[in-house]
Structure 1
């Protein structure tokens, strides 16, 4: 009987440690495991999103600088749901067409409206790229501390076991210590990928935003020249 009891006490498989843990430590472990799953879901989603965004940006730039008519490109993209650079282009062209249809007279006012339209679209696209990165930052910073909380509770369980049995035998304290270390390990498993992914995706979002800003500036210069060509003769005639 003593051997059976000793075997049960020293069973330190991951599943047995979880089942033997107290309610608080179980909740900590479950929360951290849920955070880890959510972290990897974000990582997969963001990896696909950034890969798609880069591919779409490369494709759009190739078409845009190929010499295709801006009007034709606008008609092609306006019927879709464009994102990234294409969305910035469509917003600028839409404001351009609306202004000329209403008889725009001021080059400065028209240029400001077009730039504002592109800025709003750029901010919306950048926000989409950065979505859910805050969750990664939270998990990365809070995960180790939540795991540490589980560790403290596990060590307290070990001391209680020592006090109850009045023995410092390893078989008495091992389950509580192993439980504590498991909580710490799960916290690190959740936090480390979150921190790495947050840093990577933040850098990727910054690069994509800078790329879109560069395109917006170039396109603004192109439209500025065309505004001068269209409005100067009209102003001279007046």
Structure 2
């Protein structure tokens, strides 16, 4: 090999490799010629990649809808609309209401329920009950927004290791095959290593979008949570100002 020029080495190696051609790397052939364990690893990575992309697109719709709903409801709420009318509109929506409107409806419903028991409940207990109802509803709303984010985090952290396992296994198989040969050349080593390295590439392909989406969506959910908490505090202050004074 030391007596050959670089071009002669390339001309010797490339024709011997079925997966590599003048047009580039043939990934299909690399996958088909890989060992069964490596193919299994690739199949797992392909599945989690498709699942993570489906979650990414669905989660974007859900979070965008929550942001738009919060903006629309806050605009109605702070425009001076009657609280009883807002509650009636929220109740008519039933299960279709979401986000900030659900938080408002839960607090208002609990407040008015205890207001009817004025003889037995003071104003401070009414406010505290409304706050508890809003906190419980906020937790449910955030749980829905955070749903499947853990899956994206797991894909982002585990996929590279799964791909690395496939690569290590493929290289082990390649070297076992080389042990049976009396003379090993680049032409005999390169195809097996290429088949093994594609597993790592697929692991990174699955992990990078999942990590990006998790970080982005987790940050947006935190912003929405802060927005919900701020609204609940401001609404509690409004209820406190409207609470009847104790007799």
Q: Structure 2 length as normaliser, TM-score?
A: 0.87
> Is 1:18–1:26's contact at 8 Å kept on the other side of the alignment?
yes
Following superposition of structure 1 onto structure 2, how do residues 173-192 of structure 1 map, counting pairs within 5 Å?
173-192=189-208
3-state SS of the aligned residue for 1:165? coil
1:128-166 CA-partner distances (Å, limit 9, x unpaired): 111111001101110111100001011112101211223
| Corresponding position of 2:18 | 11
| CA drift at 1:172 | 1.6
| Corresponding position of 1:3 | none
| Corresponding position of 1:59 | 72
| Corresponding position of 2:33 | 20
| Corresponding position of 1:101 | 116
> Is 1:43–1:197's contact at 8 Å kept on the other side of the alignment?
yes
Following superposition of structure 1 onto structure 2, how do residues 33-182 of structure 1 map, counting pairs within 5 Å?
33-80=46-93, 81-103=96-118, 105-182=121-198
> Is 2:156–2:207's contact at 8 Å kept on the other side of the alignment?
yes
> Is 2:34–2:196's contact at 8 Å kept on the other side of the alignment?
no
> Is 1:158–1:174's contact at 8 Å kept on the other side of the alignment?
no
> Is 1:151–1:180's contact at 8 Å kept on the other side of the alignment?
yes
Rounded to whole Å, the distance in 1 between the matches of 2:221 and 2:242 is 31
Rounded to whole Å, the distance in 1 between the matches of 2:183 and 2:153 is 43
3-state SS of the aligned residue for 2:97? coil
Are residue 218 (structure 1) and residue 226 (structure 2) matched?
no
| Corresponding position of 2:219 | 203
Runs of 4 or more, structure 1, over 4 Å off, are: 6-9
> Is 1:161–1:172's contact at 8 Å kept on the other side of the alignment?
no
Any unmatched runs of 5+ in structure 2? 1-12, 20-25
> Is 1:161–1:173's contact at 8 Å kept on the other side of the alignment?
no
Q: How many residues align?
A: 226
| CA drift at 1:7 | 8.7
| CA drift at 1:105 | 2.9
Q: Structure 1 length as normaliser, TM-score?
A: 0.91
After superposing the two structures, state which structure 1 stretch, 182-191 or 49-58, moved more: 49-58
Q: Between Structure 1 and Structure 2, which shows a larger proportion of helix residues?
A: 1
Any unmatched runs of 5+ in structure 1? 1-5
